[in-house]
Amino acid sequence: MMIDGYVADLIAQDVMRDASNDERAAVDKYISSISSSGWVAVEHDGLPSRSGEYWITVRSKDGELSTEMRVFSALQGKFAAQEYYDHNGYEVLAWQPVKAPLPYRPKSI
């Protein structure tokens, strides 16, 4: 699940109600690192909850990292090519939604 501002607020209001200052600081640091980079770590937050196109970072069994665009199926709970990754020792480390770029704005002549 991707942590956005709304979910972060819920965490701060409910889950972190009885947390120490150090625990609150650690959660705040983690949330801001996710928000600023745009990547969601599979290890911490799992796979996306919605179907769609995502950028993913994959690590090969040799430790090489690559970034690829893949379609995720929420119904199947996996990315396209997941069987290939699993069979060949690849691991999906992180994902982020594909975002449309801002429109091109030509300079006035």
70-82, pLDDT tens digit by residue? 999 988 988 888 8
- 56 plus 88 within the same structural domain: yes
Domain count, the chain: 2
Residue-averaged pLDDT of the chain = 78
Which tokens go with 101? 């770029």
- 79 plus 64 within the same structural domain: yes
Instruction: Find all residues with CB under 8 Å of 79, minimum gap 6, and list them.
Output: 47, 54, 56, 70, 71, 72, 73, 85, 92
Residue 15, domain extent: 1-37
Give the model's confidence band at 3: pLDDT under 50 very low, under 70 low, under 90 confident, else very high.
very low
Residue 72 confidence (pLDDT): 93
The more confident residue out of 20 and 46 is 46
